[in-house]
Structure 1
Amino acid sequence: MAQAPYSIQTNQAAKKVDMKVSGTFTPQDYQNFVRDYAKMASSIDAKTFTLEVDCRDMDLLGTEEIDKLKGSFAGYKETGFQKVVFIISAAQMIIKMQLARVAREAGLNTIEIVTK
């Protein structure tokens, strides 16, 4: 079985959730992500946590992916993280714009996009 295009790890001591996304999600990957995300979200007090999403290996998003991403961002907002940080590389200016636009459309205001 191929490796999932995401990972989610909770660091209770640092009050941080580390998430890494890469490539493009298939519909099955997305369903698995939603399930794994819900499991993680129910195990923490999100308002005291920062969600850090490493997007450096993420592919550009097509229209279908943008809709799914908007659903994920709405989930992040609903979960109530203290802050959501997206990590991108300097070469990912288009992805930076996509992330910022989708966050705005999903009403996710507590974001920061960091270049590493």
Structure 2
Amino acid sequence: MGSFNINIDRTGKVFHAKVEGTFSPEDGMESVKAYQAKIAEITVSEYEIHIDCTELNVSSPSTLPILEACFQMYKQDGFNKVVLTLAKNPILKMQLGRVARTVGLENCEINEV
């Protein structure tokens, strides 16, 4: 089961999200609803989005379309920068990088800790 947590740093202009576990399509849809409710509170173009993926598992083929849709939202919503932080996981890094390229998310930075 996947979980997520969202916090907004209004002073630093950073939208923080943390995702963990393995997301089902239902988990993905719940995270999208929470994301949309939170971005309604800010001027997205003034913010960076930082997503902590250190405890995220590689996505299954059935959930990749939802992951792509999320990356497409980040692009369309107009965040200044998208920063993904991962634990050392070459497969997840490759998967997230491929999804970012697929949707044309050019302002995406992937960091390993």
Instruction: Give the TM-score of the pair, scaled to structure 1.
Output: 0.91
Match of 2:14 in 1: 16
The count of aligned residue pairs is: 113
Match of 2:72 in 1: 74
Match of 1:111 in 2: 108
Give SS of 2:23's match.
Answer: coil
Match of 2:38 in 1: 40
CA distance, structure 2, for counterparts of residue 29 and residue 68 of structure 1: 10
Give the drift of 1:8.
Answer: 0.9
In structure 2, list runs of 5 or more residues that go unmatched: none
Match of 2:62 in 1: 64
Q: CA RMSD in A?
A: 1.3
- Report the residue type matching 1:109 in the other structure: E
- Report the residue type matching 1:114 in the other structure: N
In structure 1, list runs of 5 or more residues that go unmatched: none
- Report the residue type matching 1:70 in the other structure: E
Kindly indicate whether the alpha-carbon contact (under 8 Å) linking 2:75 and 2:105 is maintained by their aligned counterparts in 1. Answer: yes
Give the drift of 1:28.
Answer: 2.4
Kindly indicate whether the alpha-carbon contact (under 8 Å) linking 2:25 and 2:63 is maintained by their aligned counterparts in 1. Answer: no
